[in-house]
Each structure stands twice: as structure tokens, then as C-alpha cells.
Amino acid sequence: MPHRIEVGIKPGFRDARGESIRDQIAEDLAIKVEEIHVFDVYTIDAQLSRAELERIRTELFTDAVIEHSTIDAPLPNDFDFAIEVGFLPGVTDNIGKSATEGIQDTLGRPLTDRERAYKSTLYTVRGVSHETSDQIARNLLANGLIERWSILSETKFAATKGEGVLGVPTVQDVSDATVAEIDLEVADDTLIALSRDNTLALELDEMKAIQGYYRDTKTRVKREALGLPTCATDIELEILAQTWSEHCKHKIFAANIAYQDEHGNARAISGLFKTFVKATTDIVNERVNWLVSVFHDNAGLIRFDDDWLFALKAETHNSPSALDPYGGALTGIVGCNRDIMGAGLGCKCIFNTDVFCFAPPDYAAEIPERLMHPRRVLRGVHRGVKDGGNQSGIPDVNGAFVFHERFLGKPLVFCGTGGLIPKTVAGRPSHEKGARPGDRIVMCGGRIGKDGIHGATFSSEELHEGSPATAVQIGDPITQKKMADFLLEARDLGLFTSITDNGAGGLSSSIGEMAETPSGAEIHLDRAPLKYAGLAPWEIFLSEAQERMSLAVAPHQVGALMALANRREVEATDLGEFTDSGRLDCYYDGALIGSLDMEFLHDGVPTMELKTVWNPPEPTPDIEVIEDDWTTALQRVLGTYNVCSKENFVRMYDHEVLAQSVLKQFQGEENDGPGDAAVIRPVPGSNRGVAVACGIAPKYSDLDAYAMMACAIDEAVRNLTCVGGAIGTIAGLDNFCWPDPIQSDKTPDGEYKLAQLVRCCEALHETCVAYDIPLISGKDSMKNDYKIGDRKISIPPTVLFTAVAILDDVRLSVSMDAKRPGDAVYVLGETLCELGGSEFALVYDHKGGTAPTVDTTANRALYQRLNNAITNKLVASCHDCSDGGLAVALAETAFAGGLGMNVDVSSFNLTPAATLFSESQGRFVVTVSPDRQSAFEEAIGGSPYFHVGTVTESPRFEVSAPEGAVINADIFDLKLAWQAPLQW
């Protein structure tokens, strides 16, 4: 019989978790709970004696100083309802897993394979009804996709006598090991139904290509010889669907597009990736000498110094985060970490970045079916990334929160990671790898369960009624951390020849890709370690259960690798071998259950043929505002969700672990001013550094997708320039998130969205080439739509541009805060009337106007001059002028420094609104010590600069704008307006 241990805070001690949840319920659900207490419950499904139970209760589960606990008896009393939340069967239970280890340590004996502990949480509430308790459970405490809950009154709870009501979450849903055969000799509509019903996400012409493969005489002869049926087996079809998924194959970026621009000029684009992304890197590679490995590995690698290489990757995890914000985001960040752990021969992760796009947290309209309130999504996503990064010991150094109503349909969760690897490991260049025929296939890390099956194909579709709940999974950072430590040791001992991560598509993807080099693999799926019995062979191969990496290991090193894994308590399993057979062969219990031609698998997918015409939207008039209180206008712009401080959330990330931090997210007198780019110094003893920044501007998409892309790049480059990054040392990474751009019944405006995509790619290419930025890695996510019933929500086309610059000397970096009274204030760059999509337009609810354009020639010259001034120590502070415009950048500079500012921009030949709030690109606010002003002006001369005022001791922020407009405010009031909105 399972036993139950309940643990709570002793009366008289503060229940901080309870208080925090009570506050959250009040803020998010507007429900007032008189009192709420939290109890940890461990259900232990194991044969234990009473003495053993007592021992684990006292020594493992209870902190005698502040906690009390019971075994098989109810602990809490004096409440109205007890809400207990536990995981559904099969869902990753990290605490339960650690508790199981702790029990074995405490008892000094192993438990059997089936004996384990499960964690659930008990909340006792007072002052609410049963119905309200259920609402709290449903909307805040639990997610029905992964968790279940019960609600009992105090009497009923006492009557359970500590047996609990949730029971043990053992997996009942069992598939058998039989392999199904699927007849593809069927009508076209049956093929389409087959694809949709099985979440294959394949289009008709792709299904027909597969049909053609099986029809081919060569295939038939081969299959007969191998003893395989003429029909496809389930595992073969699943492997093809995964490998050919939009998520893995990027078919839209590979498509042939017949494009016609707004002037009627036709252009045949043979692949957006080849034409715009790869071409950028090829051109810039002629100008810089530090690219090492781009596009063909898990992450791009560039030279850091003579001894080290630097790796960068960013990924999205949008679809899973829509269904389970916490688990989706957690898997997003630890998954991106694995890309870095699998780059070259395996990098060490040295930082994370995170950028989230949500609907505004005060969204008041009805929430469509299967979606969650943006506030809940924000909290869950943030908590997932926080736990993933913090528990892995990887600092989160840079990011953004971006808000737009249409992110209600799908939140965007971008997770980035940087890594470092010695140039040479175990005597070999660390960026070269490759499995060889005869190498063993070794999987290490976590076990395989039904979690995450169909993740790759599910995220290649819009979110619909049938989107599978199994695609959701929860990461296990500690299992991954153990594996990460182990892999670095194994790498330095030269124990493997190739490494890649198991992400989307699981083993099917990792083995399929690794097998390309030797040209074949033979895998035995019955040898794979499972979390629980009852997975069909194809499920084992496709499962996206987390925390797993695949290695190619020379046969003579398998013993040493396994011994090391054993010492580090990391599970590693030999699943088969790489071959040169030209085929991917899958076995189960010794029988061949699937075999695919490698060439067909990787190259057989038909190239899409698309066409589109760019019809620009009708230009709309610029915003005209009658306003006489510009101080209030500034406070309102400072308080928009895009501009306001995110410090409360950012402080919950560990941004200093690894002790590399040079410029942190928040800077200035009170460490609360908004930094532009992060700077880290990753190699102790060296002053070289990495600056990390991001740019993202979906607010311009509806006006001009070209501007959206160019502005995102310009913002990232400006951020790097602020802290001392130089043109010529910057590398970029593009993450596209698009609504479905394929014309169809469900996407009648597909052609327009495709034209937007082409324009965006043109901007990416032209801007990066102008700034000498090679694209070293990237990703695209193309189906960011929601459609259930008549309700369709498509996200605004969005590209996150992540950029890094390698710095010669981090000690020359500059922060954004005003430093001393008397310093001169400069505005660099031209201000134009570009209020379209601005925060100011958002505040005044204006949709049209002109989006900013990026003058790359002028900007490049300015950035180089400013870099020269910074490296010559002529600049006291430098702040990027972006969201919110000049008034915001000036105010942030002032209040971050705890100083006032006296500024006169009345001679700007613009309206007050445009002067103060236009979001023209290529601008900075800089403060300069009076004794360096002439040298500074000489360094910048040739680019537009405006000496507009002075930093003052008195904490007043005073601005004279054109037409007699003025701002006159206390800096602390401005700071408060900026901090207030996300203070929860």
C-alpha cells in the first residue's frame, strides 16, 4: 500500500509560499482568500517498514526547525477546503524523482524499479466556496493538461484518514509492441485524412511522394529482400513525417518562390534561406576572418580568441508554451542549452537569453477556447525559463518582454544560449565531428516516455482542437546538468567522435541526422531505457522525452565511456551502430521493423512552389495629437508594457552565476536603470569579452515587414555599440516566427503573408550586409496561428535578431546611466517624423503612420565613430534610443543615474510629438564629461550630433521641445511611472 507523508510549516512560522500564492490569486483572479497554506505531500509507492517511514519523514522530508509532518494521517486543520494538485500519470515529476533518490540514500538500500515517490501539493484555503476553490485550482494552481486536482472540505479531508484522493499516478495507457502496416495505395483524400488524423502534418504532394517511393520497383525489390511488407510500416511513416516536418526541414525557407514586387518586377527566388540568409554570410565571410563553422551544426561557431571558440543558438518553443507555459518554456530553454552542448564536440553553456511575446497582461476580452489568459502565460513562461536556467547554473544575461494583442493566439518564447569550447579538445579541432561506420550509437541522459510525441509535427501546424496534449513535456534540469557535466569530462577524454541533441523528433531526428555522415545506421529500439513499459517501437523512436543526447563512440571506447557515465550516475545505453549501408534500419526484439533509404529520407521531400505579389498596404496618415501636458504624455509612454521596467521578473533570473558578468541588465545609482546589452568576460584572466543584445520590432510588421526586420537589426547593433561593440566583430542570428504564409482556405491571405516574408528576408540580407554581420545560425517557426471554430488569430510577423560582439577589452565598456552633474548631454543621429507603430501611437490608440526606415550608410558611419569615442574613453554614458523615442531615452539616462537633466530640443524642426516620441532608428543619448567634449565632438564629427543639455544635481527632468512644449518632472516620479506596470 502506498504511504503518504504530509509536510507543513509549524504554527508560529511564516508560510511565505502561502502568502505569495494568496497575493497572486488576488492579483490574477481578483479573488480574496482569507488564508492559504501550502503543504508538500509525498506519496511513496514502496514496501517500507514503519521504522523506515519514520526515518525518511524525519531525516529527509521534514525540517525539524520549522516544519511538522505526518505519516498516513491528515496534517492540516482549520480550513474550508483542501485543494490537492498532483501530476497526471507519466508526466515528469522532478521532485518525486529526487525524493526517490533521497529515500534510497536515507535507507541505505535501493528501491525496486517500480518503487518510487510522487510529489503533490496541498493548499488549504479559508474564506472561499467549493466553486471558487475549483476556479483557483483550474485557473492558477493546476494545468489540466499535465495535472489533476481534488477539492475536499475539512470534514471530508479528515475522513480520508491521510490516504489522499489522487492516488498513485501510474501509467495505464499502454501501447503494444506490434508494428502496424499502412496501405498508401488509397485515394488522395484518404491520404490527406491519414496525415491529419495521425498528426503527420504532411501535405498531399508529400504524401504522394511517399506513395511513389513505396510504389517504386527498386523499393519493392529491396523491401522483399529485407523481409519487410510492401506497405509502409508505422515507424517508417512517422520517421518520414518527422524528418520532413516544417519544424525540421524548413520547407518554406527552401521553397521556390515566384515573387513580384510593388513595381511589377518579377524575381524567381530559389529558396529564401539560400538567397537571403546563406548569401549574407557568404558575402560577409569575405570581409571577416573569424567564422569557424556555420549552418551545418547545432549552433554556429566563431573564434573568441586564439584558444577558444564561441557558439550561439536561439530557438522558439511557442506551441508547447501555449498549452503549458511552464513546461513549454522550461523545455525551451534546456532544449536550447542542448544545442550548445551538441555544437562542435560539445560546448559549455555560458549564458542564456530570453525574449517573450505575449498579449498585454491586462487583456480584458474573453479568452478563446484552449488558450490561457496572457497573465498566466507570462507567469508560467517566466517561471519555466527561470527554473531551467537557474537550476542549470547558466546565467540569464539579456532578453525582452514584448506585448501585442495578437500574441494571444500564440505566445512567442525565444530561448537563446551562448557557449564556449577550447579550439582543440583531446588533440582534435573541436569544431570537426562525424560518426564513422562501425561507431556505436550511444544515447545518454534521461529515459524515454510518451512525453513529447509528435512535438515536431504538432508545432508544424496551427493550434487547433485536436492538438495533442502529449506534445507537452516538462524538463528535468538536474538530470540534464548531470549529463552536461559528464559530457564535458567525456569530451576532454576524447571518448566520442560525434554528438548531437535529442530535441524535436527525438532519436528519429538525432540518429537520422548523425547517420548522414557515415550514410547509415542500425538501431535496436528494444534496448532503449524507458520510463515505464508499454511504448510502441515508433513511439520510442519519436518520443521527445527531454534531457537526452546521442553520441557516436568508437567501439574501443565504449567501455571507458560507460564506466565514466556510471561514476557520474548518468544513464548511457548502446542502441546500435552507424553503418555505410545507405539505409536507416530499425529493429525491435531482433526483427527489422522499418528500413528507409537515407537519400529518400533526407532529399525526397518535394520542393514547394509558391508565388506571391507585394501589394503594399495603403499609406495611412501620421498621428496628430492635441496635447498640452507633455509631462503626463511622457509618463504614459514610460508606462506602456513594452517600455516599462521588467526588473521584478528579471531579478528572479540568476544573471551572475559563473562570475563573468561585466554589464548587468540593470544599471545605475540604484541598480535599476535599463541596460542596453549584456557584457560578460567568460575566460578568467583574460579581458576579452562578449556583448549580447537583441532586437525585435513586431509593432512595425503591419505597416511594413521590411521595416520590422531592419529596425530589429538596427536596435541590436545599436545596443552592442552602446557598450563598446564594433562593426566587424558582430555576428547575428535570426529567429523567424511567422503566421502561416501558404495560401489556402484556412489562410486566405497567405500570399500577402508570404510577400511580407520575402520583404523581411530582403531587409535581413541588405541590412546585415551593410553592417558586415554574418548570420551564424537561425531558425524559423512558420505556423503561429490559432484556429478553433471561426476564431482565427495570427501573430504579427516577428523576427528576433540576436547579436553578439566580441570585445577586446571589457574594461572599456560603458553603461547607460548619467554619471555626474555637469556632464554634457548629446543626441546622436537624426530624428524624423516616424511615429507609426510607436509607443506614443499605442498610447493614443493610433494604428497608421510611417514606420521608421533604417539608413544603414549613415548609421554605420555613426556607429564606427561612436565606437572610436567609447574606446578612447570619451563617453560617460551611452543609451540606445528605441521604444518610446528620445524623451524616454533621456529620462531613463537621468533617473538611472539618480540625477536630473536640463535639455533643450526646441530647435528640432518637428512637432513636439515627433521630437519627443518618434522612434527613428540610428540614435543614441550620450553624456560626456565637460573636459572631453571637444575630443568627443571631433570623434563624432561628420555624423549628426546635437549638444542638447546638461546633467544636473537637482533631480528635475526638464525638456524644452518645439512649439513651446515642455516636460518638467521629478526623476523619481518618472521612474515610478516606468516601474509600476509590471510590479507583480
Partner 1 sequence: MSIDVLVLAGFGINCEAETAHAFSRVGGTPRIVHLNDLIAEPTILESVQILAVPGGFSFGDDVSSGRILANRLRYRLAEPLDRFVQAGNLAIGICNGFQVLVKMGLLPQLSGEMRQEVTLTHNDSGRFEDRWVHLVRDSKTPCVWLDGIDILELPIRHGEGKFLAPDGEHLTQLQEAGCLALRYADKNGAPAAGHYPENPNGSMDDIAGLCNPTGRIFGLMPHPEAFVDRTHHPQWTRQSLPEEGAGLAIFRNAVKHAGQR
Binding site for partner 1 (CB under 8 A): 13-14, 16-17, 19-21, 40, 59-61, 63-66, 94-95, 97-99, 101-102, 105-106, 108, 386, 390-393, 477-478, 481-482, 485, 567-569, 651-659, 661-664, 666-669, 671, 681, 684, 810-811, 813-815, 817, 819, 897
CB of residue 321 to partner 1, shortest distance in Å: 20
d(CA 384, CA 334): 10
Q: 317 or 681, CB closer to partner 1?
A: 681
CB of residue 645 to partner 1, shortest distance in Å: 14
CB of residue 810 to partner 1, shortest distance in Å: 6
CB of residue 566 to partner 1, shortest distance in Å: 9
Cβ neighbours of residue 187 under 8 Å, at least 6 residues apart? none
Residue 570 near residue 582, CB atoms below 8 Å? no
- Phi-psi category of residue 485: left, alpha or beta, with phi > 0 → left and psi -120 to 50 → alpha: alpha
d(CA 360, CA 380): 15
Q: 391 or 498, CB closer to partner 1?
A: 391
Q: 59 or 224, CB closer to partner 1?
A: 59
Task: Name the nearest CA neighbour of 633 among 400, 982, 961, 983.
Answer: 961
d(CA 389, CA 403): 23
Please identify which residue in the block is written with the cell numbers 517500480: 114
- At 604, the amino acid letter reads G
Number of CB atoms found within 10 A of residue 845's CB? 7
Q: 262 or 670, CB closer to partner 1?
A: 670
Buried b (16+ CB within 10 A) or exposed e, 782-815: bbbbbbbeeebbbbbbbbbbbbbbbbeebebbbb
Q: 105 or 938, CB closer to partner 1?
A: 105
Q: 376 or 681, CB closer to partner 1?
A: 681
d(CA 848, CA 478): 49
d(CA 814, CA 722): 7
Classify burial at 264, counting beta carbons within 10 Å of its beta carbon; exposed 0-12, middle 13-18, buried 19 or more: exposed
Residue 571 near residue 483, CB atoms below 8 Å? no
CB of residue 928 to partner 1, shortest distance in Å: 14
Please identify which residue in the block is written with the cell numbers 527489422: 592
Q: 610 or 662, CB closer to partner 1?
A: 662
d(CA 718, CA 921): 9
CB of residue 99 to partner 1, shortest distance in Å: 6
Question: E strand or H helix at 9, and its extent?
Answer: strand 3-9
CB of residue 395 to partner 1, shortest distance in Å: 9
Q: 636 or 820, CB closer to partner 1?
A: 820
**β-bridge mates for residue 576, sequence order:** 441, 523
Q: What cell was used for 742?
A: 501558404
d(CA 698, CA 150): 42
CB of residue 815 to partner 1, shortest distance in Å: 4
Residue 138 near residue 316, CB atoms below 8 Å? no
DSSP 8-state code for residue 607: P
Residue 877 near residue 816, CB atoms below 8 Å? yes
Q: 106 or 153, CB closer to partner 1?
A: 106
CB of residue 653 to partner 1, shortest distance in Å: 7
Q: 367 or 658, CB closer to partner 1?
A: 658
Q: 568 or 602, CB closer to partner 1?
A: 568
CB of residue 740 to partner 1, shortest distance in Å: 38
d(CA 197, CA 175): 18
CB of residue 684 to partner 1, shortest distance in Å: 5
CB of residue 279 to partner 1, shortest distance in Å: 39
Q: 13 or 295, CB closer to partner 1?
A: 13
Number of CB atoms found within 10 A of residue 248's CB? 21
Q: 520 or 897, CB closer to partner 1?
A: 897
Task: Tell me the backbone φ, ψ of residue 399, rounded to 5 degrees.
Answer: 175, -170
Q: 742 or 876, CB closer to partner 1?
A: 876
CB of residue 873 to partner 1, shortest distance in Å: 11
> Cα 550 from chain centroid?
22
DSSP 8-state code for residue 796: P
CB of residue 20 to partner 1, shortest distance in Å: 3
| DSSP string computed for 350-399 | EEEEEEEEE--TT--SPPPTT---HHHHHHHHHHHHHHHHHHHT--EEEE
Q: What cell was used for 583?
A: 539505409
CB of residue 864 to partner 1, shortest distance in Å: 22
CB of residue 669 to partner 1, shortest distance in Å: 7
Q: 28 or 702, CB closer to partner 1?
A: 28
CB of residue 563 to partner 1, shortest distance in Å: 12
Residue 607 near residue 255, CB atoms below 8 Å? yes
Kindly report each contact of residues 130-137 with a partner whose C-beta sits within 8 Å and lies 24 or more positions away, as own/partner: 130/81, 132/31, 133/80, 133/81, 133/83, 135/29, 135/31, 136/25, 136/29, 136/31, 136/33, 136/83, 137/83, 137/85
Q: 386 or 454, CB closer to partner 1?
A: 386
Distances (CA, A) of 864 to 185, 219, 318, 657, 934: 63, 60, 37, 32, 18
Residue 957 near residue 969, CB atoms below 8 Å? yes
Q: 65 or 364, CB closer to partner 1?
A: 65
CB of residue 296 to partner 1, shortest distance in Å: 30
Q: 16 or 26, CB closer to partner 1?
A: 16
